[in-house]
A and B are shown apart, each in its own frame.
Chain A
Amino acid sequence: MSNSGWETVIGLEVHVQLATKTKIFSGASTTYGAEPNTQACAIDLAMPGTLPVLNKQAVHYAVMFGLAIDAEIGKESAFERKNYFYPDLPKGYQTTQLEKPIVGRGNVEIQMADGRTKNVRIHHAHLEEDAGKSLHEGDFRHGVSGIDLNRAGTPLIEIVSEPDMSNAEEAIAFAKKLHSIVTSIGICDGEMSQGSMRFDVNVSVRRTGTTELGTRTETKNLNSYKFMEEAIAKEVERQIDLIEDGGTVLQETRLYNGDTKVARSMRSKEEANDYRYFPCPDLLPVIVSDETIEELRRNLPELPDARQARFIEQYGLSAYDAAMIGSDAAMAAYFETATKESGNAKLAANWTMGELAARLNSEDLSINKSPVNAEQLGGLVARIADNSISGKMAKEVFEGMWAGEGSADEIIEARGLKQVSDSGALEQMVADVLAANQAMVDDYINTDEAKRKKKLGGFMGKIMQASKGQANPQQVNQILVQKLNELV
């Protein structure tokens, strides 16, 4: 199938769980992974007679997001009820914002792999509560679902973009940028696998050159960039096929199952626009004072763009390295500590993005859960930088630190890994190996000068073996060439 002749238009709605200790309207804990329904109090369960009281921190986090994207802040915002029936929504309505959201129009700049940048407009962002979870698989009797309401009432901001993205790459760059912003300002833990950020993707297609938007579909609840990419590709293809075959796209909500790779239409929870929104009589208008906004602005943590620029300026990182490390708040903090500890930013960056990131990735760990902390990695980098150990030994030391054997220095000491850089000792070592391998030396001398370089490997192997891998390879190479040339 070819997409030529077609343009794709994408808008995103992003649900971000705010990193508050408690629910948006109750004092129940939001800690992830608790026993079912142990963090669902009478308010979350919509028991009669309960009243919501708004969490100040949730309001402040929402305002901080608004400040981070240079948006208008709703100094007076209000809550509405969005009515629908579903077992994971005990009240029969979701308390959300419609007419007066807390964050108005703003902008997010995204950067593509080729360095191209693009502005994505934010329509608004509003505060709302999350629903509980329905569990359909378990040991329940036939025909029953289990409901866990621990998540019910968890504060969310829903960020609604304008349809400013024209392919999956841009949509993912936008999603990653939002992730980077919310984690950098500390309003969300960013744990995608735990549903801390979820993406609804609105997709439509139109013939190239036309300006009218096509009918869009919404694919809900994608919680990884990979699934987003797959879901967009599938939906674009489906819509183009449909129209080219003479059909029309229906405005509908769809689901994409990342495990089975199957997309399907979702029976709508209610018919479109029938949520019968009305102002929530339990909640009064929310006023955010100018003083509060200014205080939050003053204390807003460093944003990813500023941090990346600083990494280039302060540490001399390449733009690519600065983007890789600087876009992730936790990785950025890790890198800065490792750099401080080692005094070598470039090496610290290489190890953070290389060995460490690869290992975390393969064990599916976030950097905050790394068995090797930033001080330890810094300690290792310091020993590489001062030539105490070779790159190869460093990997062994890293493995030791990962296994919990202690600091780099302790492991180097315990395993006798110190690299030999003492030139006297190295010269003796090289001389010994040459003396013991006269045949190889003769072979070297009898080889054409142009081809001699290839013969060096054999000597290097024997010398490194003799030194138990502890000789500084660069130095050995230098001494070896010098000594052999004296013999020619």
Chain B
Amino acid sequence: MNIERQEIEKLATLARIAIDESTITEVAERLGSVLELVDQLQAADTSSLDGVSSGMQATQRLREDEVTEINQREALQATAPDTEEGLFLVPKVIE
């Protein structure tokens, strides 16, 4: 399975992952072999089966709509790089 160089670059951009120029060919080959595996799975005839969203034969548990989490801002912001007046500070983002 061939993956174009451009596709790797685009995926890296979308995933915010820096990929070294020299490793692109190798990454393309490795991802290609993953896709080959997917192709093998795709080849299996599943037309007689219902789709499953999960490997487990279970369904989603639901919780009651009750407040269980109290304010822990101080603890949760302790590891944040930068905060001010209770806000997390990040490099400016403007859309």
B94: CB under 8 A from chain A? yes
Q: A36-B86, A37-B77, A38-B86 are in contact. Are A284 and B54 (CB under 8 A)?
A: yes
A78 cross-chain contacts in B, Cβ below 8 A: 53
> Measured between C-beta atoms, what is the minimum distance from B60 to chain A in Å?
4
Asked if A147 contacts B89 (CB within 8 A), the reply is: yes
Q: Which of B26-34, B36-44, B68-76 contacts A (4 or more CB under 8 A)?
A: B68-76
Asked if A285 contacts B53 (CB within 8 A), the reply is: yes
Asked if A55 contacts B60 (CB within 8 A), the reply is: no
Asked if A269 contacts B95 (CB within 8 A), the reply is: yes
A145: CB under 8 A from chain B? yes
A36 cross-chain contacts in B, Cβ below 8 A: 85-87
> Measured between C-beta atoms, what is the minimum distance from B75 to chain A in Å?
9
CA distance A190 to B83 in the complex (A): 32
Asked if B60 contacts A283 (CB within 8 A), the reply is: yes
A215: CB under 8 A from chain B? no
Interface of A is mostly: loop
Asked if B58 contacts A56 (CB within 8 A), the reply is: no
CA distance A276 to B7 in the complex (A): 13
CA distance A358 to B58 in the complex (A): 55
Asked if A145 contacts B89 (CB within 8 A), the reply is: yes
Contacting A37 at CB < 8 Å: which of B61, B67, B73? Answer: B73
Residue of B nearest to A85 (CB): B16
Asked if A284 contacts B59 (CB within 8 A), the reply is: yes
Asked if A86 contacts B60 (CB within 8 A), the reply is: no
B62: CB under 8 A from chain A? yes
B68 cross-chain contacts in A, Cβ below 8 A: 22, 27
A303: CB under 8 A from chain B? no
Residue of A nearest to B62 (CB): A56
CA distance A356 to B63 in the complex (A): 41
Asked if A100 contacts B53 (CB within 8 A), the reply is: yes
Asked if A86 contacts B84 (CB within 8 A), the reply is: no
Q: A37-B86, A146-B88, A146-B89 are in contact. Are A55 and B76 (CB under 8 A)?
A: no
Contacting B63 at CB < 8 Å: which of A47, A56, A140, A283? Answer: A56
A149: CB under 8 A from chain B? yes
Asked if B95 contacts A255 (CB within 8 A), the reply is: yes
Asked if B84 contacts A146 (CB within 8 A), the reply is: yes
- Would you list which residues of chain A between 275 and 289 have a CB under 8 Å from chain B? 276, 279, 281, 283-287
> Measured between C-beta atoms, what is the minimum distance from A70 to chain B in Å?
25
B58 cross-chain contacts in A, Cβ below 8 A: 284
CA distance A274 to B62 in the complex (A): 31
Contacting A42 at CB < 8 Å: which of B14, B76, B93? Answer: B76
B18 cross-chain contacts in A, Cβ below 8 A: none
Asked if B92 contacts A136 (CB within 8 A), the reply is: yes
Residue of B nearest to A19 (CB): B65
B87 cross-chain contacts in A, Cβ below 8 A: 36-37, 135, 138, 146-148
A350: CB under 8 A from chain B? no
Q: A36-B86, A38-B86, A276-B14 are in contact. Are A54 and B60 (CB under 8 A)?
A: yes
> Measured between C-beta atoms, what is the minimum distance from A157 to chain B in Å?
15
A21: CB under 8 A from chain B? yes
Q: A22-B67, A284-B54, A285-B53 are in contact. Are A37 and B95 (CB under 8 A)?
A: no
B66: CB under 8 A from chain A? yes
CA distance A55 to B64 in the complex (A): 6
Q: A35-B86, A100-B53 are in contact. Are A144 and B67 (CB under 8 A)?
A: no
Most buried by A among B14, B59, B85, B87: B87
A445 cross-chain contacts in B, Cβ below 8 A: none
CA distance A283 to B58 in the complex (A): 10
> Measured between C-beta atoms, what is the minimum distance from A67 to chain B in Å?
18
B90: CB under 8 A from chain A? yes
Most buried by A among B16, B59, B63, B86: B63
Q: A143-B92, A145-B90, A146-B84 are in contact. Are A285 and B60 (CB under 8 A)?
A: yes
Q: A21-B67, A135-B87 are in contact. Are A37 and B76 (CB under 8 A)?
A: yes
* 4 extra A-B contacts, CB within 8 A, seeds A58-B65, A146-B84, A281-B54: A42-B76, A43-B69, A274-B14, A286-B62
Can you show 28 pairs from A to B with CB atoms below 8 A apart? A26-B69, A27-B66, A37-B86, A38-B73, A41-B72, A42-B76, A53-B61, A54-B60, A54-B62, A55-B62, A56-B62, A58-B65, A87-B90, A100-B53, A136-B93, A144-B82, A145-B91, A147-B88, A147-B89, A255-B95, A266-B95, A270-B14, A276-B14, A279-B53, A279-B54, A283-B60, A285-B59, A286-B62
Return the 4 tightest CB-CB contacts between A and B, nearest first.
Answer: A27-B68, A146-B87, A57-B65, A41-B69
Which residues does A use to contact B, with CB under 8 Å?
A: 20-22, 26-29, 35-43, 45, 47, 53-59, 78, 83, 85-87, 100, 134-136, 138-140, 143-149, 255, 266-267, 269-271, 274, 276, 279, 281, 283-287
